[in-house]
């Protein structure tokens, strides 16, 4: 069930990015929530990513060195058992009315 929910969320994020206006972009960061932080360092070395900052309880901002691999890395992190979610840090430009 958890994997199905993650799949739906990822599919939604990817579809939203494809359909969204050209003003929607993402950074070279991934926001990740882990069940515990014990595997964080192994994920950093496995995917060649860097720790940027802690955002909350077991929630981290990670920096991807090669931006072209961002979506692939987020997808692979989501397949890990102790990862609640891992998604790109999306930016939406505000357009004044």
Q: Is residue 82 part of a domain?
A: yes
Give the residue ranges of the chain where pLDDT is below 50: 16-21
The pTM (predicted TM-score) of the whole model is 0.69
pLDDT of residue 26: 78
Whichever domain contains 23, its CATH number is 3.30.70.80
What would the DSSP string read from start to end of 65-93? SSGGGHHHHHHHHHTSTTEEEEEEEEEE-
pLDDT of residue 9: 64
Split into its structural domains, the chain has a count of 1
pLDDT, tens digit (0-9, with 9 covering 90-100), for 29-54: 999 999 988 999 999 999 999 999 99
Tokens read off for 71: 């979506």
The answer to whether the beta carbons of residues 24 and 90 sit under 8 Å apart is yes
Domain that holds residue 57: 2-92
Tokens read off for 64: 């991807």
The residue written with tokens 């931006």 in the block is 67
Q: From the centroid of its chain, how far is CA 50?
A: 13
pLDDT of residue 7: 66
């Amino acid at each position: 069930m958890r994997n199905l929910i993650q799949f739906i969320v990822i599919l939604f994020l990817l579809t939203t990015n494809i359909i969204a206006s050209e003003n929607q972009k993402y950074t070279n960061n991934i926001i990740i929530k882990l069940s515990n932080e014990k595997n964080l360092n192994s994920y950093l070395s496995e995917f060649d990513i860097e720790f940027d900052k802690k955002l909350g309880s077991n929630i981290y901002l990670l920096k991807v060195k090669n931006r072209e691999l961002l979506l692939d890395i987020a997808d692979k992190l989501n397949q890990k058992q102790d990862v609640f979610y891992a998604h790109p840090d999306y930016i939406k430009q505000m357009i004044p009315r």
